[in-house]
């Protein structure tokens, strides 16, 4: 019961797994959620368990209210507590389409997974954290949202994704403001160009931008562990008195320069 429990949506691969690795090393027990069958994350779970973490995998779609409820019920049954929520799960458009041609179906899919799901999962977890705090004054809770530079950096060929991440930014601010009275901090991390399955289809484009232009200050791909290290630092309590802050991990991409 002394170990803190973290729920990381989309924690079986990519940025989510990079986060889970660092949290496991920090001493957290972990709950991973995702849409893949459990057999697809066996290797990830085993690696996290090698850090000494107890790991629960919850299969489900964050955009589904029923799946979210089932996930939280499984966490209650296994651990009986939740200290940290990391809203990481997200998807890119299945087809990158100009906003003059993009479909309503794509927009709805992106919004449900990238914004509506995290919004109501945060609502449920926040209420549970408040109840835990009222039952135990020593309880500490925290919420971290993994956004994107696309909240402010325009990509007209994936407008639905950009809008979903801009919405996640406002969601982070809203929950930070609402949960302040309960001393439950909320942070947002905005990654830049990170080497994951999501970016693999456009790797040549980003290779060029990273190596042959002045787009970045740090001329390399970002890695999932870069996001994991910052997440673990926040979860450890290294950013007191800073709820509501947005931290960019983008190699300097969004810094204004002359």
pLDDT on residue 1: 58
* Mean pLDDT, residues 100-117: 98
pLDDT in tens, 157-210: 999 999 999 999 999 999 999 999 999 999 999 999 999 888 888 889 999 999
pLDDT on residue 63: 97
CATH topology of domain 5-247: Rossmann fold (3.40.50)
* Mean pLDDT, residues 132-159: 97
* Mean pLDDT, residues 118-147: 97
Q: DSSP string spanning the chain?
A: --S-EEEEETTTSHHHHHHHHHHHHTT-EEEEEESS-GGGGHHHHHHHHTTT--EEEEE--TT-HHHHHHHHHHHHHHTS---EEEE------SS---TTT--HHHHHHHHIIIIIHHHHHHHHHHHHHHHHHHH-TT---EEEEE--GGGTS--GGGHHHHHHHHHHHHHHHHHHHHHGGGT--EEEEEE-SB-STTTGGGHHHHHHHHHHSSS-SS-S-B-HHHHHHHHHHHHHT-STT-TT-EEEESTTTTS---
Asked whether residue 249 carries a pLDDT value surpassing 70, the answer given is: yes
pLDDT on residue 121: 98
Average pLDDT, the chain: 96
């Amino acid at each position: 019961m002394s170990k803190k429990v973290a729920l990381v949506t989309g924690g079986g691969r990519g940025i989510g797994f990079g986060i889970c690795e660092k949290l496991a090393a920090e001493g957290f027990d972990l709950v991973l959620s995702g849409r893949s069958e459990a057999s697809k994350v066996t290797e990830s779970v085993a690696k996290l368990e090698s850090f000494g973490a107890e790991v629960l995998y919850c299969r489900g779609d964050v955009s589904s209210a029923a799946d979210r409820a089932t996930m939280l019920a499984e966490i209650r049954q296994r651990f009986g507590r939740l200290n940290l929520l990391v809203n990481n799960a997200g998807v890119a458009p299945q087809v990158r389409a100009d906003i003059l041609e993009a479909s309503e179906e794509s927009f709805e899919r992106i919004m449900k997974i990238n914004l509506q799901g995290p919004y109501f999962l945060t609502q449920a977890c926040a209420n549970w954290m408040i109840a835990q705090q009222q039952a135990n004054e020593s309880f500490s809770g925290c919420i971290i949202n993994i956004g994107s530079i696309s909240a402010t950096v325009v990509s007209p060929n994936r407008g639905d994704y950009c809008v979903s991440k801009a919405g996640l930014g406002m969601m982070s601010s809203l929950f930070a403001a609402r949960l302040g009275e309960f001393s439950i901090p909320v942070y947002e991390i905005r990654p830049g160009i990170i080497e994951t399955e999501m970016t693999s289809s456009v790797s040549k484009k980003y290779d060029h931008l990273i190596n042959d232009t002045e787009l970045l200050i740090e001329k390399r791909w970002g890695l999932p562990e870069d996001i994991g290290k910052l997440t673990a630092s926040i979860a450890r309590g290294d950013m007191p008195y800073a709820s509501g802050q947005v931290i960019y991990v983008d190699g300097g991409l969004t810094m204004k320069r002359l």
